[in-house]
Structure 1
Amino acid sequence: MVTNDLSDKEVVSLKDKIEKIDGVKQVFWRDDVLDITFPKEMIPETLQKQLYSKDSTLMIVTFEEDTASPKTMDAIAKIKEVSNKDCYLGGMSAIAEDTKDLANSETVKYALIAVLLSLVVLYLGLESSVAPLIFMLGMAFPIIYNFGTNIFLGKISYITQALAMILQLAVTMDYSIFLLHRYQEEKKKAENTTNDMAMVKAIQATFTSITSSSVTTIAGFLALCFMQLRLGGDIGIVMAKGVVLGVICTIFVLPSLLMIFDRQIEKYTHRTLIHELKKVPGFVVRHAKFLLLIGICIFIPMGFAQANVKQYYDLTSTLPSDLSSMKGTEELKDKFNMNTTHFILVSDTLPTKDIQELSGKIENIEGIENVLAYENFVGGGVPGTFEPEAIKDIFENGGYKLLIANSDYHAATDEENKQLDKIHEVLSQYDKKALITGEGMLSKDLITTTNEDFKVVNVLSILAIFVIILITFKSIALPFILVLAIELAITINMGIPYLTHTTLPFIAGIVIGTIQLGACVDYAILMTTRFREELSLNKSGKEAIRVAIQKTSPSIITSGCSFFAACIGVSLISRMDLISSLCELLARGAIISVISIIFILPSMLLLGHKLIEKTTKKWPITKEDQYE
């Protein structure tokens, strides 16, 4: 904590108030070493540099629990209450508390903008003026159930809390659209068909596509649980649960709502901008080979682009500069030259002489501003009864001795990572079990962890979805075709930032790839299911794919645009770059996926029809000349 323009007495008074706050373990300042009645020049020089900078002074606050625990967050909030305007909290706990407050304050805005923009898209895509409102009413049930059942998880991250409602709305809205379109189609097939019978047939017709697509989406989210980073498990469990609840409500609640308000849905209609595609199906059939060739040609360079997108691991650098914790962090950097702080733990059996040597060697490493250790300002040979207990409690605890090294370098940079490697080399000479923690080490570990997580989650999500499609369609070829069509869309989406020179948050590749694969494979399953259905009516492959594109295009386009709308609004208003970037990628990914499913997937299905016949159980058989 940095205080400006306060007298020593005022600092001591503030320190006493902070120490009484529940959750605060200890506050260390110069009066723990030497009473303020003595001039500060009598304090060891190392400690002076650490605690004083012109008219500013530094207090070290330690907490009873971990960095982001609720108790620590409450303590941070109370410290702000007892501090004046010229006092600034820095460090990971303060940043975590500010970020949590920011995310919580913006969550309602995210929900409102997502709902409003989704309503606009639904209004443009659905003939009924009432249906969009019915959809939102139907979506309220699974969203409320999902958030309510989060209580059984104990706690979830604020990022998950902020994104869950948007993602659930975006990911599960297509189930409602699929059901409504099929319900309306069934009602038009025969004049004597009752609404009850039409709904029964609609549920039967869409049940396979809804359940199979939802299972693939759930599998994609659950793959995130295998991330070492807890955020992945948070998002994975909450969203998988949300999709399950969304499917249940689509099958049991939404049909009731549609039938209750059927008269109003039919009465209040308007012209739509999203219609069945008339010319596109013929274009796709005529140019299937050309479209597939374009897809292959795009995939190769975009794959290279995706592999070379720059990522950032220091999330604090992307937060709004007006947050109090960011101001505090800047104060630490500007006045105390503390860009990052390394906390080094060594065995308490190391003698004073070794600690002093170790401190000196670390301080000589390039980029290290200073090193603070108990032995440096107390010195050897001082009787234990005369050692300040406050200092000893901070620097010696739990079988470890603490060294605090302040670095000139920023976290997650090559310079900082090399610096940490050199510190490890020095530590190994004295204590092979020594530990380093702090923002810099956390960022360095994130780089390694994220690379491993990306490989594991990517393989698991693709494998899980592959197996589910294989079981659903009883086919060997179809899983390859459907997954490749979505992977093309993902590769293009994740490759664009390389072309625009955009740096992405480190979790973007893992989260976006999994969510886009799991969510947008719904469109692929709907298209494939309709293609099989038309083939079963003894239509040729070309005619079946024409009808499949034409009949599914309104649902796919409306759903994709709704997904886009729910996410793009949040990306534009969010002050958190992490959330903004993720939502922008999801929004763009939805549109790219729609294009891939309407143009590339039908080409693959048509050209691979013979292979599909041979590798799929009970696939409708057509005459040989129908593929020529």
Structure 2
Amino acid sequence: MFARIASVSARWPRTVIALWVLLLAGSLLLAPKLPDHLTSEGFSIPGSESAQASERIRTGFDGFYGQTLTVVLDHPGSAAGDAQFTGKLQTAEKALRDEPIIARLTSPASKGGESLADEKNGRVFIQIDMDATEKEARAFIPVVRDKLRSAGLDRDGFRFDITGSPALTEEMNEVSLSNVEMVERIGLPIVFVLLLLVFGSVVAALLPLLMGMFTIVLTLAVIYLFTLYMPLSSTLTNVVTMLGLGVAIDYALFITQRFREELAKGSSSASAAILSLSTAGRSVFFAGLTVMASLSSLFLPNTMFFRSIALGGLVVVFVSILTAFTLLPALLTLLGSRVDRLRIPFAFKSRSGSGFWTRFISVLLKRPALFLTIGVLFFAALAWPISKLEMHIPVAAFQELPKDSEARLGMEALTEHYGLGESFPVKLLLNTNGGSATGAEALKTVDRLTRQFGDKDGVQQVVSLTSVYPASPEQLAAAYQAPDRLPAEARAQLHSLLSRGGRETVLYLIPKEGPTSEKTRALVREIRAELPSALPGGYSGQVTGETATGMDFDKQVTGSLPQIVLYILILSFVLLALAFRSLLLPLKAILLNGLVTASTLGALVILYQWGHLPSSTAQALNVGTPVLICAILFGLSIDYEVIIVSRIKEAYSRGQDNRSAIVEGFTATTGMINGAASIMVVVFGVFLFAGFRFVQELGVGLAIAILMDAVIVRTVLVPASMHLLGRLNWWTPWNHRTLFPKEKKPEGKKSPKAV
């Protein structure tokens, strides 16, 4: 199969390249459109308690709109109620009033908008409610900014910031793009230098880099087409960049290196391209399939966030394989021996025979049990902190944006005025199931819940139907029959407390700490545990809010972890069994990968959860980090396993004994694997400087994992364990020629001539 695929590119290289150029041209038109179609949302679990309650509040209560922007107008040293502020507010309202997308515009000058004035800090807030989609709201942000600037709201010592969910999403997308640009600016030059050291040739070094860039552009274009039919998370652009550069460059490196070896043996360029794809290409194919299989496990949690990353990962790995199997052989065929043009004098020399790696493997194979024991003990020592692992999704994480971010500055102004707890309250939706929420019996229940939950240590106050207007339930029931007679403050809050049908009410529990704190999370757990017994018969209640939404997301993800791990293990075993034609080697590979994964998570606990990495704050890991580390690492680690074991298998199949086959396969691939691993470590490690902590955790974790995998697992544990297993490496309980049929290798003399 691999020879037939390669022969197409080898026979018609110019046609294949022309088709790829056309594909790239189309991709360059589509890829830039992707950021506008991505969202920072995706953490609400459909059907969960928090999602159901949130949707009922949004659709059943007045005052809740699809999207909201807040303009923060600031003038240090001025009072929020003076003439200058009043004039600016009137100007702003006049500038925005006629915009059809705006459903409601509220400011301190509006009826019931008094709380939007921050007298203490000389600020006012203008709330823009819209019946619009997130995409429409994001597109409206520059319109608001231009209109306010034209109206002079940034003059005379005034300044304004625009914040709210659409603004936060927009800036998070911008940070994601800046992460990609950072990799291009810092990572790519380092990667090119490493490729120069590996190949010793400028032309050869450029080929893998070219494959990586082609892969990313085409992947982003394909994902843009998917966004036309489904919402996807902005995080996938960072994951696509990580995997696209790491995987595509590695695959191209392996095939290009094998092509050069075949040329050195006297093969023509076309024959060398076909032989390279039949050998190294076969390894790349199974390695890519394993990565894709691992990434497909991310569909199991059934969340938009993980679904986005799974889709992006699958597309980028598939495109990496596609470029390695079509475009790269075509380029190699045309280049031929010119692939070694522009040689440099300081590159690594091939070390074989009596070289460094031969001496190293000779020492290792004399005491394989000792080296294996030391390696396993090292991983066990590094993995122990995993027993202290804490993980959850950070909610309302606007503080992850850069400190000078407009949306972050605006949110900080809001939370300074209202407090974190009031900005992100815990919401208790009470349903009378057919009764009246303003009846005396219902109000007794509301009053009891208000007192019961208001007395908890983590609660600052409770805003409910019985707290905004202090009176007995019977008096309140009568008062709510004529709401126009209520005090202005109580009347202003009624729309957010009572549903339009009057059968549901919301209690807002204002926590003392922020939505991500453990105290607030514990508060949600307590309320959910106590609520069923606190309600009278026929009543029901649900808890929602940012904290509850995050906890439901955590529950969904952690509940899916066993299925994810089992899925990865089974598929990895099957694919490796097909690749190695062995049953024990896949088991050994899975065990070693498990050690690397556990050690990586242990290292992340030390660096991020315990805060021992400079500039990091001690806090729980993002719940997505362990899941993605497991899924991505299991796939990537197999890359190197397949490469080295396949070369050992080649030597063993030619009649060499186990030890000689290990030595030949090890010396032929270790330098190349270490070079490829160095590239991945650089690509992943650059994300240490990313704008989001989650992306930092993922990048640093993968960099550590690949480093340990290449230096310890592939260099020490794989050859040591294979030497100890001996002939058992290739054991199967069945006839392996029947179960795992070999693919016939092409003969060079039958290959097409060089073009």
Q: What TM-score, normalized by structure 2, do the two folds share?
A: 0.73
CA distance in 2, matches of 1:19, 1:484: 64
Find out whether 1:272 has 2:342 as its counterpart: no
Cα separation, 2, equivalents of 1:618 and 1:200: 29
What SS does structure 1 have at the residue aligned with 2:601? helix
Quick one: percent identity of the two aligned structures? 15
Task: Report which stretch shifted further, 4-13 or 466-475.
Answer: 4-13
Looking at structure 2, the residues matched to 397 and 527 of structure 1 have their Cα atoms a distance apart, in angstroms, of 65
1:547 aligns with 2:664: yes
Question: Equivalent residue for 1:414?
Answer: 518
The Cα shift of 1:32 comes to 5.7
1:283 is matched with which residue: 363, 375, 381? 363
CA deviation string 1:298-350 (max 9, x = no partner): 33333322232344632444433322333233333333223432333333742
1:452 aligns with 2:559: yes
Q: 1:129-528 maps to which residues of 2 (within 5 A)?
A: 129-154=202-227, 155-189=231-265, 191=266, 193-270=267-344, 271-273=346-348, 275-276=350-351, 277-311=357-391, 313-314=393-394, 315-339=397-421, 340-347=424-431, 349-351=436-438, 353=440, 354-355=442-443, 357=447, 358-373=449-464, 377=468, 380-381=479-480, 383=482, 394-397=496-499, 400-424=504-528, 427-428=531-532, 429-430=534-535, 433-500=540-607, 501-502=610-611, 503=619, 504-528=621-645
Question: What amino acid is aligned across from residue 575 of structure 1 in structure 2?
Answer: G
Q: Structure 1: how far apart are the matches of 2:402 and 2:568?
A: 34
Q: Secondary structure at the match of 2:510?
A: strand
What is the distance in 1 between the residues matched to 2:329 and 2:500?
A: 61
SS in structure 1 of the partner of residue 200 of structure 2: coil
**Which deviates further from its counterpart, 232-241 or 128-137?**
128-137
Cα 1:94–1:425 change in 2 (3 A) is farther
Deviations 1:445-490 (A, max 9, x none): 2332332233332222222111211233332212111112222222
Could you tell me how far 1:77 is from its partner in structure 2?
5.1
Contact 1:494-1:509 at 8 Å conserved across structures: yes
2:138 aligned residue:
73
CA distance in 2, matches of 1:433, 1:498: 40
Q: Which runs of 5+ in 1 are unaligned?
A: 41-47, 621-628
* Contact kept in structure 2, 1:225 and 1:233, CA below 8 Å: yes
Amino acid of the residue matched to residue 368 of structure 1?
V
Cα contact 2:244–2:316 (8 A) shared by 1: yes
AA aligned opposite 1:150: I
Aligned residues: 603
Q: What is the correspondence of 1:105-144 to structure 2 with a 5 Å cutoff? A: 105-144=178-217
Task: Note closer, same or farther for the CA distance 1:261–1:22 as it changes in structure 2 (3 Å cut).
Answer: farther
> Judging changes above 3 Å, is the alpha-carbon distance between structure 1 residues 405 and 27 closer, same or farther for their aligned structure 2 residues?
farther
CA contact (8 A) 2:372 2:721 kept: yes
Tell me the secondary structure at the aligned position of residue 470 of structure 1.
Answer: helix
Give the Cα separation in 2 of the matches to 1:64 and 1:203. 55
Letter in 1 for 2:139: D
* Deviation of 1:74 (Å): 3.2
CA distance 1:338–1:56, change in 2 (3 Å):
farther
CA contact (8 A) 2:375 2:716 kept: no
Tell me which residue corresponds to 2:716.
599
The answer to whether the Cα contact below 8 Å between 2:426 and 2:547 also exists between their aligned partners in 1 is yes
**Aligned counterparts, 1:46-57, within 5 A:** 54=120, 55-57=122-124
- Out of 536-545 and 12-21, give the one that drifted further: 12-21
Deviation (angstroms), 1:92: 4.7
TM-aligned CA distance change 1:613 to 1:425, over 3 Å: closer
Distance in 1 of aligned mates of 2:223 and 2:159: 39
Unaligned 5+ segments in structure 2 are 1-69, 352-356, 470-475, 612-618, 738-755
Matched AA of 1:273: F
> Do the aligned partners of 1:410 and 1:416 also contact (CA within 8 Å) in 2?
yes
Alignment partner, residue 43 of structure 1: none
> How many angstroms apart in 2 are the aligned matches of 1:470 and 1:265?
35
Q: Please report how far the alpha carbon of residue 377 of structure 1 lies from its aligned counterpart in structure 2 after TM superposition.
A: 4.8
Q: Confirm or deny: 8 A CA contact 1:104 1:158 kept in the other structure.
A: no
Does structure 1 retain, via aligned residues, the 8 Å contact 2:677–2:707? Answer: yes
From the superposition, tell whether residues 26 and 105 of structure 1 become closer, same or farther in structure 2 (CA, over 3 Å).
Answer: farther
Report the alpha carbon displacement of residue 523 of structure 1 after superposing the two structures with TM.
Answer: 0.4
CA contact (8 A) 1:274 1:557 kept: no
- Cα distance in 2 for residues equivalent to 1:78 and 1:453: 43
Whole-angstrom CA distance in 1 between matches of 2:428 and 2:102: 21
Once the two structures are TM-superposed, the CA of residue 576 in structure 1 deviates from its matched residue by: 2.2
Picking from 96, 101, 104, the partner of 2:174 is 101
Report if the CA contact (8 A) 2:585-2:730 is conserved.
no
Residues in 1 aligned to 2:343 and 2:306: alpha-carbon distance in whole angstroms: 42
Over 3 Å counting, the alpha-carbon distance change for 1:172 and 1:178 in structure 2 is: same
Deviation by residue 1:556-595 (Cα, 9 ceiling, x = unmatched): 11211111122222323x2222222211212222111112
Are residue 64 (structure 1) and residue 131 (structure 2) matched?
Answer: yes
- Asked if the contact 2:211/2:320 (under 8 Å) is kept, the reply is no
Instruction: State the 1:58 CA deviation.
Output: 5.3
Report if the CA contact (8 A) 1:489-1:592 is conserved: yes
SS in structure 2 opposite 1:575?
coil
SS of aligned partner of 1:412: coil
The alpha-carbon deviation at position 415 of structure 1 amounts to: 0.9
Question: How far off its partner does 1:412 sit?
Answer: 2.5
Q: 1 CA distance for matches of 2:593 and 2:327?
A: 30
Higher alpha-carbon deviation: 598-607 or 225-234: 225-234
Question: Is contact 2:259-2:275 (8 Å) kept?
Answer: yes
Query: SS at the partner of 2:569?
Result: helix
* Inter-CA distance 120–451: structure 2 relative to 1 (3 Å threshold): same
CA contact (8 A) 2:198 2:348 kept: yes
What TM-score do you get using the length of structure 1 for normalisation? 0.86
Worse-superposed segment, 132-141 or 592-601: 132-141
SS in 1 for 2:232: coil
Q: Distance in 2 between matches of 1:205 and 1:33?
A: 75
Q: 1:105-158: CA deviations, max 9, x gaps?
A: 443233333322221211111122211212222333332221111133224321
Farther off after superposition, 562-571 or 500-509? 500-509
1:550 offset after TM fit, Å? Answer: 0.3
The one of 729, 734, 743 aligned to 1:612: 729
1:13: Cα distance to partner? Answer: 5.7
Which deviates more from structure 2 when the two are superposed, residues 309-318 or residues 385-394?
Answer: 385-394
